[in-house]
Chain A
């Protein structure tokens, strides 16, 4: 019996919502999807690290509570992006297995607006604290 004649074992990989449908795409595309998810994870991690750095700096330099609030929002945003990385990986992998078009990166506009708002808040605080000195 050649290896091609052997019956294929059922796919036991999880999550079943992904591996229970369609067929395996080219492994290079799966790896690219995994790297995209990791890039989203690192973007979330950057936000969290920025939040931690901001709150440490605020307490170190005895700055306004506003910076702690901005830091808290950055940490929450980073955590949400990490969760989104999983959701996006699952959606993309499912689409590839089913041969459907890839869904658009729905978090991209949100993250752009969020980072611009984050930068504007910190910048406005820097200008305000400089002018009240």
Chain B
């Protein structure tokens, strides 16, 4: 045993980190949708609750769909996933805005 630290970087570590970043983002959107749906149910807003559930289900479906890792060839299409991901957050923000406006009006 030499005691030297293992400094070798695994070949696919960046791809794995990126995949985990996607998982965290999708999980965050799904949790946000769940909180929104539960809050809307409590406020008796079925429309908002259904929209939250649908958005959460779409996010989870998109996250668990099989994706092929292209390493090291750069034939990757991140825009095809980034744009829907950002769209989901914008949609959740719009639903949250609707919930807060409804809360202020009541």
Contact = CB atoms under 8 A, between A and B. Distances in A.
B74 A38 contact: no
A78 to B, nearest CB: 5
> Interface SS of chain A: helix, strand, loop or mixed?
helix
Contact of A27 (B76, B94, B96): B76
Nearest to B80: A14
B98 to A, nearest CB: 9
Interface residues of B, number: 44
A129 interface: no
Measured as residues with beta carbon below 8 angstroms from the partner, the interface class of chain A is: 35 or more
B89 A79 contact: yes
B93 A35 contact: no
Nearest to A69: B104
Interface of B: 14-15, 17-18, 21-22, 24-25, 28-29, 31-32, 35-36, 39, 42-43, 71-80, 82-83, 85-86, 89-90, 92-94, 96-97, 99-101, 103-104, 106
Interface of A: 13-15, 18, 24, 27-28, 30-32, 34-35, 37-39, 41-42, 44-46, 48-49, 51-56, 58-60, 65, 68-69, 71-72, 74-76, 78-79, 82-83, 85-86, 89
